[in-house]
Structure 1
Amino acid sequence: MSEMEGKREPFKAKDNNRIPCTGDQRKKKILAIGSKVSVADKLSSIGASFLAKRARVSEVPVHHVQLNINASKGSSFSEQWVEELVQAMEALDMHTEQEYALDIFTGMLVNQSCQTFRACDIPKSVTAEMRTVLVDWLVQVHEYLGLEEETLYLAVYLMNSYMKVHKIHTALLQLLAASCLFLASKIEESLIPEPAELCFMMEDAFSKKELLKMERKILSRLKFELHYIHPLHFLRILSAVGKCPMKILYLAMYFMELTLLEADGAMIEPALLATGALSLAQRVSLESGFLTIDETWHGVQQWFSYSDAQLTSCQNLMARAALRAVSLENKSTWHKYSRPQKLGVSSGPSMTNSKHLARCMRTLSIQL
C-alpha cells in the first residue's frame, strides 16, 4: 500500500481541482471501496437475475448537427462567431491553436456523429444495473488515482466500442473496464497508473497478465482507432464563450457525467450533451436564484442546429439521472461533485429543490 501511494504522488500537482488527500485519508478511501461487495460479485448476481427477464431497449435516433453559421455568404454573424471561438480558445490557454480554431471546431462537429452509438450497439446482456455498477466503480478508481476528466470519458467510450464489436462475458466486465481505463490513461495522462495498481483496485480478481492481454484484445478489435471527441471540449468552449461562472460549469459537468451511467447517454452526440448540460445547469441555477436573467447566457442554443425537442430529450435524461443519483446505492458521481473542490453542486439547494428537474422527470416517465 505504501509503495502504491508513493507512485501516485506526482498527480497532486497536476490540477488545482484535484482533491488533496493525506496517506491516512487515501487508506480510508481504498478501504471504503474494498469493504463493499466486490464489483465482480455484483455483476454476476445481476447477470443471473437478468437471465430470467430480458429488458427491452428502445432505439433513439441519431441526429446530425450542423453549425449555425452562414460562412459561405460571409455574414457578420459568421465573423462574430469565429471571433468568439478564437477568444474562447485563448481563455482556455490554447494560444497555438487559435489560427486553426474554426477548422478544429468544425472537424469535431463533422466527426462526432461517427462515434455515437445506436441502441443495437449496446449489448442487451449488459443491463442498466450492470452498467451503473461498472461505471460507478470506474468513477471511484478514476477519482482515487487523480486522473484527468477526459480519461474517464474515453475509458467509457472504449468500453462501449469494444462491446459493440465483440461479445464479452459478464465475469470479464470489470477486467474490460480496467483495461479501457489503462488505455485511456496512456492517451490522456502524462503519468499512467501501474497495472499492479489497477489489479489491486480489482481486489486481485485478475492478474497483471490478464489485464495486459485484455488491453491487446481491445486494441486488436478496435483496430487501434482510439480517438474520441470529448463532450468536455465542447462544454469548456461553450462556457468560455458565455463567460459562465465556475459553479455553472461544474453543474453542467455533473449532468454530463451522470449520462455515462445511462446506456441512452451513449446515443447522444457530444455537442448535444454539452449544449443540453449547460442549458440545464443555467435553468436550474436561475430557478434557485444563483443566476439572474441578466447573467444567463441565452446564446448557448444558437451555436448548433439542434431542435428544442432534441435538447429537451437530452435534458430529461440528465434530470432523471440527477434525481436518481441521490437514492442509488452506487453514487460515486454524486459524492464526487458534492465535495468542496467541485463547489458541492450535486448536493446544493439548486438540485434538491429544483421543480424544473422534477418536471423533466415526469415528462420522461410519461414518454416511457
Structure 2
Amino acid sequence: MRPVSSAVTMARTGFCDTKPLLDLHKKADERRAPLRTWANASGPIDRWQPVEADESRMNLLKMEPDRRWERRLSLQTSEGIIMGFHEDSRAWSPGKLIAEGCVEDPVLLYPCGLQGLPSLQVLVPSLLRHEIEKALEKLDLIWDRTYAWEMFLDMMRTQTQNFLPSADLPRYFTDATRGILVDWLIQVHEIMHFQDETLHLAIHLLNRSLRLIKVTTANLQLLGMVCLFIAAKKEECLLPEVSGLCSLMDHTYTKHQFLRMERKVLSGLKFELSYSPPLHFLLIFASVARCSAMVVWMARYLLELSLLEGQCLVFLPAQLAGAALCLARQVVQEPTTPEGEAAWCLVSSIHVGSEATLMKIMHILASAAAKAHTCATFLKFSSPETMHVSRHPGLKNASSLLGVCS
C-alpha cells in the first residue's frame, strides 16, 4: 500500500478524523491530542523519584568467596580496560547477550576502567552485590533484602525474553506512524496519572503485538489504548472504566470493540506480560553510581525518548538504561569527586553489551533529544518537578550533542 493511500484510509476510517495528533500531514506543533481532562480517582500518585546521592563513603567490604562470579579482563583498547563480571561460566558465558545477530562483548559504562583502584578491583563482586541490594531496597523494588541479588540476576537473565530480533514493522505501518501513536499514548498516560512502569510495559506490549497479531491501520489507535489498559491492569492499583478510555478516543470505537481487541491481544501474546523495564535498570544503576537528581532526570528523559525511536526496539533494557545514563552524565557535565568516580566505576562493571552497541544507542538518543522540542515527552520533562531537563542547554545543539558521543 502506498503511503498516500494509507493516509487516506486512516482518515476515512476515523483513525485520523478529528484527531490532529494522529494526522501525519499536520505540522509537528499541531499534533496535540483532543484529550479530555480525566484523572484517576486514586488521589495523589507516588511517582518514581530520583535517588538522592549518599554523602557517606562506600565502605569497602571484606572479600568473601563467591563462586558464581569471576573476574575477567577481556581486552585492551585505547579508551582503557574494557572489563566485566559474569556468573559462573557453566551458566553464563561471554557473548550470552545477542543483539542484531551479533555476539556481544563485555563493556564498561565507565571508559577509564579500574586502573589505579586495585583494592576496589579485588572487592568488586562483593561490593557490587551489597550496593545492588541496597539500591533495590531503597527503590522499594523488594520487601526482603535476602533475595535481592537473586532478583537482580533474574532481571538480567529474563530481559532477553520476548526479544525483538529486528525493528521492522508490518508493511502497512511506518516508523512515523508508530511514533505518532506512542506520542499520543504518552499524553494519555500523563492524563491518567499512571506509573512510569505502566508506560514502558504498554509500549513493549504494543511493539510485540504489532508483530504477533494482524491489525489494520484503522484499529492501530485502539491497539495502543488496549495495550495501555493491559499494562495498567498489571501495574496499577485502580483502573479506569473502559467507557472512559473510549471517551478519550472520542468514541471512535465501542466498548465491545475494545474488549474484543483486548482478548485478541492477550491471546496473541499468550498472556506473557512479564517485562523488566529499562527504567528499573536505570534507577538501580543510578543508585549504585550515586548520580545526582539532575543526571537521573536527564537519563529518564532520554530513556523515554527511546520509546519513540523504532531503532531502539532491538536493544535490551539494560543496554538502553546504560546508554541513557552515560549520555546524561556527559550532557550535564557535573563536577566529579573521588567517591563519585569510584561509585561510577563500580556500576560500570555490570555487563550491558558491546562498546559499539552502547555508542550506537547513545547516538540514537542524542539525535532524538536534538529534535524532540515538539513531542509530549519534551513538555513532560520541562516542568519544575523534572528540573526542566528537556530544556537543558546541552540538548539544544544537535551537532554538539552528537559530539559528546563520538
Quote the residue 2:236 is aligned against: 189
Root-mean-square deviation over aligned CA pairs: 2.5
Please give the per-residue CA displacement for 1:310-332, whole angstroms capped at 9, x wherever unaligned. Answer: 11011011011111112x5xx00
Distance 1:6 1:350, change over 3 A: closer
| CA apart distance, 1:16 | 8.2
**Structure 1 unaligned blocks of 5 or more:** 18-58, 69-74, 364-368
Amino acid at match of 2:286: S
Q: TM-score, normalised by structure 1?
A: 0.77
Q: Check conservation: 1:252, 1:277, Cα contact below 8 A.
A: yes
> How far does the alpha carbon of each residue in 1:303-360 deviate from its partner, in whole angstroms, 9 at most, with x for none?
115232111011011011111112x5xx001111111111110012232257642326
8 Å Cα contact 1:62/1:267 also seen in 2:
no
Match of 1:180 among 227, 245, 268: 227
Percent sequence identity is 34
Alignment-derived partner of residue 344 in structure 2: 298
Q: Answer whether contact 2:183 2:376 (CA < 8 A) is retained.
A: yes
* Corresponding position: 1:107 with 2:150: no
Shift, 1:227, TM fit: 0.8
Q: Which amino acid aligns with 1:9?
A: A
Amino acid in the other structure paired with 2:321 = A
**What secondary structure, in the 3-state scheme, does the structure 2 residue paired with 1:9 have?**
coil
1:349 paired residue number: 393
In structure 1, what is the equivalent of residue 298 of structure 2? 251
Q: Tell me, what secondary structure is at the counterpart of 2:224?
A: helix
- Which residue of 2 is the match for residue 262 of structure 1? 309
Runs of 5+ unmatched residues, structure 2: 1-35, 50-98, 109-121
Which amino acid in structure 1 is aligned with residue 41 of structure 2? Answer: E
Deviates more, 1:6-15 or 1:119-128: 6-15
1:162 counterpart residue number:
209
Aligned pairs (5 A) from 1:148-159 = 148-159=195-206
Contact in 2 for aligned 1:60/1:267 (Cα 8 Å): yes
1:227 matched to 2:271: no
CA displacement at 1:76 relative to structure 2: 3.2
SS of 1:224 mapped into structure 2: coil
After superposing on structure 2, the runs of 4+ consecutive aligned residues of structure 1 that deviate more than 4 Å are: 4-7, 62-68, 353-356
Deviation string, structure 1 residues 8-50 (Cα, Å, up to 9, x no partner): 2324243487xxxxxxxxxxxxxxxxxxxxxxxxxxxxxxxxx
- Distance (Å, rounded) in 2 between the aligned partners of 1:156 and 1:347: 25
TM-score scaled by length of structure 2: 0.70
- Give the aligned length: 305
2:363 aligned to which of 283, 296, 316 = 316
Q: Does 1:171 align with 2:215?
A: no
Do the aligned partners of 1:61 and 1:118 also contact (CA within 8 Å) in 2? Answer: yes
2: CA distance between counterparts of 1:148 and 1:123? 29
Is 2:369 the partner of 1:337? no
Structure with larger Rg: 2
Tell me the residue number matched to 1:48.
none
Please list, as runs of the form range in 1=range in 2, the aligned pairs for 1:82-97 lying within 5 A after superposition.
82-94=129-141, 96-97=143-144
Query: Aligned in 2, Cα 1:63/1:252: closer, same or farther, shift over 3 Å?
Result: farther
Contact 2:48 2:196 in 1 (8 A): no
> Per-residue displacement from partner, 1:177-214 (whole Å, max 9, x unpaired)?
00000100000000112111211111111111111110
Report the structure, 1 or 2, having the larger strand content: 2
Kept after mapping to 1: 8 A contact 2:323/2:361: yes
Q: 2:176 aligns with which of 123, 129, 132?
A: 129
Contact 2:167-2:313 at 8 Å conserved across structures: no
Greater CA deviation, 118-127 or 212-221? 118-127
